[in-house]
Structure 1
Amino acid sequence: MTDTKGLPIKNKRILITGGTGFFGKSLIHHSPAFYENDFVLLSPDVDELKKDFAFLLRGKRIEFIRGDVRDFAFPETNFDYILHAATTSGKIIPDDEMRSVVIDGTRRVLEFAAQNRDLSRLLYISSGAVYGSGYNVPLQENFPCGPETVYGKAKLEAEQLCLDSEVPCSIARCFAFVGEYLPLNAHFAIGNFLDDCLKNREIVIQGDGTPVRTYLYAGDLAHWLWTLLLQGKPGRVYNVGSDDEISIRNLAETVRKISGTSNKIRVLAPIAAARPQRYVPDVSRARKELGLEVKTSFEEAIRLTLEYHRQRRVN
């Protein structure tokens, strides 16, 4: 568990939207804050968490609101903090639905935040997708954004909604992660590779294996998000992720090595002549302003994730 001690948070009331997704589960799993504060988690589907992840909730001060982020009924009580993480990046949905969840959901959350007289801060969970693919260097927060996907465009528009509001808000542009609750059957390469090794089946790389990515462990992610929520400067954008680069081919090999399996790796495309595409954050702003660091090595993050899934399958 990444240490969150020292953060000034105790006996506060905190709303998390998207509270039952990867971010929400990772925050619950890795944050001692859940034992010392009152949390309300908004999600359209809380049954899975209550049933299959009941162990996560033991001893924690958590309530649930079942609802859609776009039209949820406002709780009657006030909140000290809001962490707005509701999104649909882990599954494929129609473009208009994607845009509505991101844009209309953010409007609804900001409307609720504006009427909270006790609110100290809101943290909006955005995405590195807002930068687009026009750069082949580590992405800095001051780079012009050129999103190419509906998801990226909607996230950028939602960022502006936050910045234009009167709500004290920081923005976390999140990149790629690995951890216990990352879906293994979604469109995340690292999740697919982990699943392949857990089932000892062939790893298939759809491209040429040269694109470069970075992965921050969920425990570190939880610490970074709490720090941004509590100490990030209002109106400020911060990249969230690791800057330890790895190619997709090397990613597959590393996952297989740590898994201890001998399954085959098959690369479908020949190596292209163009420079490898990079999706890498520059996290120097978070380091310099907030003292944030990548504390968990990539290899250890893989080991912890595998250990969790193997233990769950035994039980």
Structure 2
Amino acid sequence: MTKILIEDLEHILMHTESLWDEMNEKRIFITGGTGFFGCWLLESFSYIVEQLKLSAQAVILTRDPERFKQKCPHLFNHPALEFYQGDICNFVFPKGEFSYLIHAGTSTNARLYQDNHLRMFNEIIEGTRRTLEFAKVSGVKKYLLTSSGAVYGKQPNIMSHITETYEGSPNPCNISSSYGEGKRASELLCTLYHQQYGIETKIARCFAFVGAYLPLNLHFAIGNFIRDTIEGKKIEIQGDGTPLRSYLYASDLMIWLWTILFKGKSIFPYNVGSDQEISISELAKMVAEICSPQAEVKIAKTPLFEQIPERYIPSVQRAYLELELKQKIDLKISIKKFINSQTEINYE
């Protein structure tokens, strides 16, 4: 592991150490353990188990264990981690009891589903249903769903920060809503299983993030910008650069997810992300300034006069007031950490 990743793991441990006693002698089942969220969950779990000398095990569902072994051999061979082959929608339940379950197994790769929105919708719902059924029969006490800010639909431009009490929703007659509507249905399933079976179902509505393991070749703007500067290319923005976004660093993300799993209220969604807004054009310029000051930033369109920028910014007051969670690493430092990680970590 790189030095910067060790620093990040120490950061996660420092801010969650008091939570981990209840994990001793327990097992946790994790879906999506080989993706961006998942790799960070496994890195932090294995590190913390070692540092606190806990007797705990994570079982990770994956379609292709051998591929992950090639990608992250240090995780694949870690004694606290066991990889279990299966598909999220129909996996055979592993034997034994589990006390915790984190369901992070939904792909956010828009390219995989751009021609098959029905598949995306079905996989989100059936994967959640399958993991809840597994939680019911395996003794899971605390279940965490990584949901999404997409459940809110389009954020009104006059709303600076979207709160958990906002009752907007994606347009159900637009096929691009398949992801957001799937997550909404998943949250409802969590509510029903909590009500009927007493499982503590926690919900994290996740926004945008940056850090090691984030793909550089998909639809994540910050990943694409960093890739272009590393490769010596100009940064190209296809739109007008005015949309407003925010980014939480991955080690802060882990602090939030572990805290919500252990201490969050059931059926009480928490927005997870940064409330510090930045426009896409400002983000591109920041990446260029940090990574390659001579890099050119090209914006394809000119903003319309008096246009109100599109927003996707969460309010995180609930997480702060209920769980004392807040952003600890600012965006410039986050970008520097991410760039530094590229020399040691292979991104697929």
TM-score surpassing 0.5? yes
Equivalences, count:
312
- Closer/same/farther in 2, CA of residues 199 and 96 from structure 1, 3 Å limit: same
**Residues 200, 261 of structure 1: 8 Å contact kept:** no
1:153-168 correspondence to structure 2 within 5 Å: 153-165=181-193, 166=197, 167-168=199-200
Q: Is the 8 A contact 1:190 1:251 kept in 2?
A: yes
How many Å separate the matches in 1 of 2:336 and 2:74? 21
Equivalent runs, 1:117-266 vs 2, <5 Å: 117=139, 119-136=140-157, 137-148=160-171, 149-165=177-193, 166=197, 167-266=199-298
CA RMSD in angstroms, aligned pairs only:
1.5
AA in 2 matched with 1:180: A
Q: Percent same amino acid among aligned pairs?
A: 41
| Residues 10, 33 of structure 1: 8 Å contact kept | no
Q: CA deviation at 1:52?
A: 2.1
- Residue 17 in 1 paired to residue 13 in 2? no
Structure with greater helix share of residues:
2
- Kindly provide the amino acid, as one letter, of the partner of residue 305 in structure 1: F
1:187 & 1:39 partners in 2: Cα distance? 30
Contact 2:76–2:83 (Cα < 8 Å) also in 1: no
The offset of 1:57, in angstroms, is 4.4
Confirm whether residue 5 of structure 1 aligns to residue 17 of structure 2. yes
Aligned residue type for 2:221: A
Deviates more, 1:40-49 or 1:25-34: 25-34
Contact kept in structure 2, 1:208 and 1:268, CA below 8 Å: yes
What is the CA distance between 1:81 and its match in structure 2? 0.3
1:79 is matched by which residue type in structure 2?
Answer: F
Contact 1:200–1:262 at 8 Å: present in 2 too? no
Letter in 2 for 1:287: Y
Q: Distance in 2 between matches of 1:134 and 1:306?
A: 30
C-alpha separation in 1, matches of 2:279 and 2:227: 18
Asked whether the 8 Å contact 2:246–2:312 carries over to 1, the reply is yes
1:87 aligns with 2:106: yes
Tell me how far 1:261 sits from its aligned partner.
Answer: 4.1
Question: Residues 70 and 34 (structure 1 numbering): CA distance in 2 closer, same or farther, change over 3 Å?
Answer: farther
Corresponding position: 1:62 with 2:85: no
Q: 1:264-275, aligned counterparts within 5 Å?
A: 264-273=296-305, 274-275=307-308
Deviations 1:283-310 (A, max 9, x none): 0000000011111111111111111102
For residue 39 of structure 1, what is the aligned residue in structure 2?
58
Cα offset, 1:196, TM superposition? 0.4
- In structure 2, the residue matched to 1:293 is 326
Residue 244 of structure 1: CA displacement? Answer: 1.1
**CA–CA distance in structure 2, aligned partners of residues 15 and 312 of structure 1:** 25
Q: Secondary structure at the match of 2:298?
A: strand
Write the distance in 2 (CA, Å) between the matches of 1:83 and 1:54. 22
Q: Secondary structure at the match of 2:318?
A: helix
1:73–1:190 distance in 2 versus 1, CA, 3 Å: same
Whether contact under 8 Å (1:7, 1:230) holds in the other structure is: yes
Q: Is the 8 A contact 1:221 1:241 kept in 2?
A: yes
Change in CA separation of 1:232 and 1:312 when aligned onto 2, cut-off 3 Å: closer
**5+ long unaligned stretches in structure 2:** 1-7, 172-176
Give structure 1 stretches of 5+ with no counterpart: none
Instruction: Give CA deviations for 1:119-142 in whole Å, capped at 9, x if unaligned.
Output: 220001100001111423211000
TM-score (norm 2): 0.86
Give CA deviations for 1:177-234 in whole Å, capped at 9, x if unaligned. 0010111000010010010011010111011001000000111111110000000011
Mapped to 1, the partners of 2:192 and 2:78 lie a distance apart of: 38
Alignment of 1:112 with 2:124, yes or no, is: no
Separation (CA, whole Å) in 1 of partners of 2:311 and 2:64? 34
Q: Provide the rounded CA distance (Å) in 2 between the counterparts of 1:99 and 1:291.
A: 34
In structure 1, what residue type is equivalent to 2:344?
Q
Contact kept in structure 2, 1:90 and 1:183, CA below 8 Å: no
